[in-house]
Amino acid sequence: MIRFENVSVTYDGMAEPAVHGVDFEVPEGELVLLVGPSGVGKSTVLGAVSGLVPHFTGGTLHGRVTVAGRDTRTHKPRELADVVGTVGQDPLSHFVTDTVEDELAYGMESLGLPPDVMRRRVEETLDLLGLAGLRDRPIATLSGGQRQRVAIGSVLTPHPRVLVLDEPTSALDPAAAEEVLAVLQRLVHDLGTTVLLAEHRLERVVQYADRVALLPGPGERPWLGGPSEVMAVSPVCPPVVDLGRLAGWSPLPLTVRDARRAAGPLRDRLAGGRPPAREPGPPAPAPAARRLFPRGKPAAPAPAHVAEVRSLAVRRDRVQALRHVDLTVAPGETIALMGRNGAGKSTLLSALVGLVVPSSGSVRTGDAVPHRTRPRDLVRRVGLVPQEPRDLLYADTVAAECAAADGDAGAEPGTCRALLTELLPSVADETHPRDLSEGQRLTLALAVVLTARPPLLLLDEPTRGLDYAAKARLVTILRGLAAEGHAIVMATHDVELAAELAHRVVLLAEGEVIADGPAAEVVVASPSFAPQVAKILAPQQWLTVSQVREALDR
C-alpha cells in the first residue's frame, strides 16, 4: 500500500539528509508504528507519504514513494487527498471550519462527493468515532481527546485507504488516549485501513502495532520488524519492555497481560523486598559544599509550607474550574497533579502563580498572596514552566535569553547561563531558542525560571513531546532540584513520570480533589493512572523499572 524505495530527503540549506535509505513497504490493512528518538526524521517519513514532503516543505527527495500505486513525485498532496488522510501533531491547526459536522464534511466537499454520499458518511463517522453528541458543537469548546477524534474523523470521511498520524495521543490523558486508540483499532480491524503512526508514548501504542519501523538515529537506515523483535533492540522502549529485558523474558512481552503471565518468578524474587519509601528532600536547603543551585542567602527560619491553598474556588467564563480545593506543599516535596483534560490542573497551577484570581478561598505561596503580588517579587517565591515552554522565551539567542532572565530576576549576571550549563552542557550561546529540540527548550525555560531561585517550582505537562532520553534527563534534573529542597508541583498525564518522581499524587476531577496521598498508594489504586510496572507486579507496590533493578541488584 505504501512503498518506500531507497528514499532520502534533504531539506534546503542542510548538509546532511534528514532521513536516508528508507526502504520498506507497508502492506494493506496493517498498523505500522514508527519509533525512534526525537529528531530522527519520523515526521519527515510521515510527510513523505502524504506528499507534503517535499511538495509543501521544500527540499529534495531521492528515491520513490508510492501510495496505492500513485507516485508522490507526480501527485501533489491535494491529488492524494482521496487515498491518504493525514493528522498532524496539533489537531487545532488542522481545522478549517468551526463546527464538528462541517469539519467532517470539509474534506469531502473539496473532493466533490455528491451531497447524499456526504450526508451518509458524516453520520457513519459520527457513530464510528462516538461523536454524535458533539455534532453541532463549536470545535473551540472541545476537549483535547474530542479534538483529536474530530481530526481523525475529518480525514476518515473521504474513505482514505491510508491514515497517517503524527503523535495522536501525546497531548491526551490516559483515558482519552485509550479512546483514540480504540478508534484506530476499529479502523484497522473493521475497515482494513492502513495506518502509519509515530508516537513517543510507546507504552500506549506498541501493543496495537502489527509491525514497528525503527529509526535508530539521525540519518540511519530504518529497520522494520515485528514489535517484539524490534523492541528487543530499540533504544526507546516502554517500561513493560524494559522490565521484560531486565528479567530476561522471552518472548518479550508487549502488553501488561503478557508480562503479568511471565512475571510470577520475578514477583517471587521481589517478594521479600519493598520499594524504598520516598521521603521528601530536606526541608531547608543545607549549605553543602557542592550544590546544584548555590544560594547566597543564609537559611532563614523556613515556613512550614511553601504553598498553601485553602478551600479555593475559581470560576472562569461561567465555568466552575475549581471548587473547595485544599492543598499544602512542603519544601522538598514533589507532587504530581493528575486528572483528565479539563479537570482543573492548569487552573490550579495558574492560581498558585496569580494568573487567575480566586473567586473564594485563599492561596498563599510562601508569605505572599500571588495575585496581589508584583510579578518581580513573585518570581522569587514561585516559578511556573508553562505547557508550551516557548512562551517564556523572547530573545533571539540563548545568551540574550539568559541575560534577560538575570535582569528579570535581579540576579547576578551569568546566573542563568551557569544554571543552564549545569543542566544542559551542550547548548551554544548563539543558538536561536526556536532551533532547540523540545527537551532542550524545556530545560532552557526551566533555567530561566530557576534564575530567581523560587522555592516552589510548577511544571505544566513537562513531558509533552519528549522522547524517553529527554524524559530521563528531566527526571534526573527534577530529582536534583527536589533534593536541594525545591518543592515541585507538576500537572501531568504521564503516569510513568509521576511514578518516577512524585512523593505525593493529587487526583483532580471536575475541579475537585478526589484523591491525595503517597504516590504508590494513589496510582496503584487507580486503573487508568497506574504505571505499567505497578500493573504487572501488583499487588506489590513497585512503580518503576529502576526500583526493581535496584532491588534485584541488592
Partner 1 sequence: MASFRSRGHDSPPNRGQSCRWGGTGGRGGTPQTPGRATPPAQRQHWHRHRPPLHPGAWWLWALSLGTAATRTTNPLLLALLITVSAYVVATRRPHAPWSRSYGAFVKLALAVLLVRLAFAVLLGSPIPGTHVLVHLPEVPLPHWAQGIRLGGKVTAEALVFALYDALRLATLLICVGAANALANPSRLLKSLPGALYELGVAVVVALTFAPHLIADVQRLRAARRLRGRHDSGVRGLLQVGLPVLEGALERSVALAAAMDARGYGRTAAVPPAVRRATAALTLGGLLGVCAGTYGLLTAEGGAYGLPVLLAGVAAALGGLRLGGRRTLRTRYRPDPWGARAWLVTASGVAVAALLTLAASRDPAALHPGVVPLVAPALPLWPAAAVLIGLLPALVTPAPEPTDPRKEPTT
Task: Closer to partner 1 by CB, 114 or 272: give it.
Answer: 114
Rg (Cα) of the chain, in Å, rounded?
24
Interaction between residue 223 and partner 1 (CB under 8 A): no
Interaction between residue 43 and partner 1 (CB under 8 A): no
| C-alpha 309: how far from chain center | 27
Interaction between residue 358 and partner 1 (CB under 8 A): no
3-class DSSP assignment, residue 295: coil
Task: Rule CB under 8 A: choose which of 68, 111, 224, 418 binds partner 1.
Answer: 111
Task: Closer to partner 1 by CB, 346 or 547: give it.
Answer: 346
Per CB under 8 A, the segment of 67-75, 104-112, 225-233, 290-298 that binds partner 1 is 104-112
Closest approach, Cβ 360 to partner 1, in A, equals: 18
Closest approach, Cβ 221 to partner 1, in A, equals: 27
Q: Comparing C-alpha atoms, which of 155, 541, 509, 138 is closest to residue 342? A: 509
Per CB under 8 A, the segment of 65-73, 266-274, 385-393, 417-425 that binds partner 1 is 385-393
- The C-alpha atoms of residue 484 and residue 194 are separated, in whole angstroms, by 50
Closest approach, Cβ 554 to partner 1, in A, equals: 43
- Alpha-helix residue ranges (DSSP H) falling in 2-89: 42-50, 52-55
The answer for residues whose C-beta is within 8 angstroms of residue 197's C-beta and 6 or more apart is 31, 32, 33, 34, 163, 164, 165, 166, 168, 184, 205
Task: Rule CB under 8 A: choose which of 244, 386, 439, 531 binds partner 1.
Answer: 386
- The C-alpha atoms of residue 447 and residue 405 are separated, in whole angstroms, by 9
Binding mask 416-455 for partner 1 (x = CB under 8 A): --------------------------------xx--x---
Cell of 394: 523572547
Q: For residue 31, what are the CA distances in angstroms to 51, 199, 465, 496?
A: 20, 13, 22, 25
Closest approach, Cβ 318 to partner 1, in A, equals: 5
Interaction between residue 274 and partner 1 (CB under 8 A): no
Which residues, numbered 494-553, are part of the site for partner 1 (CB under 8 A)? none
- The C-alpha atoms of residue 430 and residue 438 are separated, in whole angstroms, by 17
Interaction between residue 112 and partner 1 (CB under 8 A): yes
Cell of 472: 530521563
Binding mask 114-153 for partner 1 (x = CB under 8 A): xxx-xxx-xxx--xx-xxxxxxxxx-xxxxx-x-------
Per CB under 8 A, the segment of 293-301, 318-326, 414-422, 519-527 that binds partner 1 is 318-326
The alpha carbon torsion through 39, 43, 45, 50 (nearest 10 deg) reads -170
Interaction between residue 344 and partner 1 (CB under 8 A): yes
Interaction between residue 365 and partner 1 (CB under 8 A): no
Closest approach, Cβ 178 to partner 1, in A, equals: 11
Percent helix, strand, coil in the chain, to 5, is: 40, 20, 40
The answer for residues whose C-beta is within 8 angstroms of residue 461's C-beta and 6 or more apart is 171, 387, 491, 492, 493
Task: Rule CB under 8 A: choose which of 66, 97, 359, 546 binds partner 1.
Answer: 97
Cell of 124: 457513519
Task: Rule CB under 8 A: choose which of 189, 261, 376, 432 binds partner 1.
Answer: 376
Task: Closer to partner 1 by CB, 341 or 547: give it.
Answer: 341
Element at 242 (helix H, strand E) = helix 239-247
DSSP labels for 178-198?
HHHHHHHHHIIIII--EEEEE
The answer to whether the bond into 251 is cis (omega within 30° of 0) is yes
- The C-alpha atoms of residue 272 and residue 403 are separated, in whole angstroms, by 53
- The C-alpha atoms of residue 130 and residue 493 are separated, in whole angstroms, by 23
The answer to whether the bond into 518 is cis (omega within 30° of 0) is no
User: DSSP secondary-structure letter at 99?
Assistant: B
Closest approach, Cβ 213 to partner 1, in A, equals: 21
3-class DSSP assignment, residue 518: strand
Task: Closer to partner 1 by CB, 56 or 362: give it.
Answer: 56
Strands 487-491 and 319-329, how do they pair?
unpaired
Which residues, numbered 63-92, are part of the site for partner 1 (CB under 8 A)? 76-82, 84, 86, 88, 90, 92
Interaction between residue 413 and partner 1 (CB under 8 A): no
Closest approach, Cβ 508 to partner 1, in A, equals: 11
Interaction between residue 391 and partner 1 (CB under 8 A): yes
Binding mask 169-208 for partner 1 (x = CB under 8 A): ----------x--x--------------------------
Q: Comparing C-alpha atoms, which of 260, 249, 327 is closest to residue 515? A: 327
Interaction between residue 294 and partner 1 (CB under 8 A): no
Closest approach, Cβ 118 to partner 1, in A, equals: 5
Task: Closer to partner 1 by CB, 84 or 545: give it.
Answer: 84
Task: Rule CB under 8 A: choose which of 21, 23, 39, 109 binds partner 1.
Answer: 109
Per CB under 8 A, the segment of 1-9, 61-69, 221-229, 400-408 that binds partner 1 is 400-408
Task: Closer to partner 1 by CB, 347 or 547: give it.
Answer: 347
Binding-site size for partner 1 (CB under 8 A) equals: 101
Task: Rule CB under 8 A: choose which of 38, 43, 194, 350 binds partner 1.
Answer: 350
In one-letter notation, the amino acid at residue 40 is V
Which residues, numbered 452-471, are part of the site for partner 1 (CB under 8 A)? 452
Interaction between residue 286 and partner 1 (CB under 8 A): no
Interaction between residue 165 and partner 1 (CB under 8 A): no
Closest approach, Cβ 504 to partner 1, in A, equals: 22
Spatial contact of 360 and 434, defined as CB atoms under 8 Å apart = no
Per CB under 8 A, the segment of 63-71, 101-109, 360-368, 474-482 that binds partner 1 is 101-109
Interaction between residue 23 and partner 1 (CB under 8 A): no
- The C-alpha atoms of residue 145 and residue 161 are separated, in whole angstroms, by 23
Interaction between residue 388 and partner 1 (CB under 8 A): yes
